[in-house]
Amino acid sequence: MKCPHCNNELSEVPLCYGIEAPYYFYTVPEEKRTELIRDFCVIDEQHFFIRGHIEIPIIDSKEKFIWSVWVSLSEENFLKSNELLHVEGRENEKPYFGWLSTELSIYPITTLSLKTMVHTQEVGAVPLIELEQTNHPLAVEQREGITMGRVKEIAHLINHSQ
């Protein structure tokens, strides 16, 4: 498969991209950083983050495109999500409010601080992140889906901007 923008050969188009830590993790001095363990991050014992997935339907496909992102939670909701980490039935938990804490630079408008709802999934699955229904391009894509052409465009933008 060829990239439609630069004609470079792509062995396959990834359907998931992720960020290792919340945006804010990189903005504080090293000695101030606290814990970053898999899908959880705490900064200065006062900022709490959880990793989840924004799923975007791919039009005319059963596949989904996924952004693996970080969301800030209140301390109360962060501690509750940790308590329920291995508890069966946790998917029945009410969604938690959070702020998107990942900058997805391929969008023309910042993705930082978009309002979200964090939906806990069954044990072993990361939460699903639902964006507030706004006109932000990411929220529109989550709501309306994207074409496979857009998936290829995202691959191009990510692979050629690093």
pLDDT at 42: 94
pLDDT digits (tens, 9 = 90+) for 19-58: 999 999 988 887 667 788 889 999 988 999 999 999 999 9
pTM comes to 0.90
| The pLDDT of residue 33 | 72
**pLDDT, tens digit, 9 for 90 and up, residues 80-109:** 999 999 999 999 999 999 999 999 999 999
Distance CA 49, CA 75 (A): 9
81, 109 contact by CB (below 8 A): no
Long-range contacts of 127-131 (CB under 8 A, 24+ apart): 127/50, 127/52, 127/53, 127/71, 127/81, 128/52, 128/53, 128/54, 128/55, 129/52, 129/53, 129/54, 129/69, 129/71, 129/98, 129/100, 130/95, 131/54, 131/100
3-state SS string over 89-133? Answer: CHHHCCCEEEEECCCCCCCCCCCCCCEEEEECCCCCCCCEEEECC
Q: Is the predicted pLDDT of residue 9 greater than 70, yes or no?
A: no
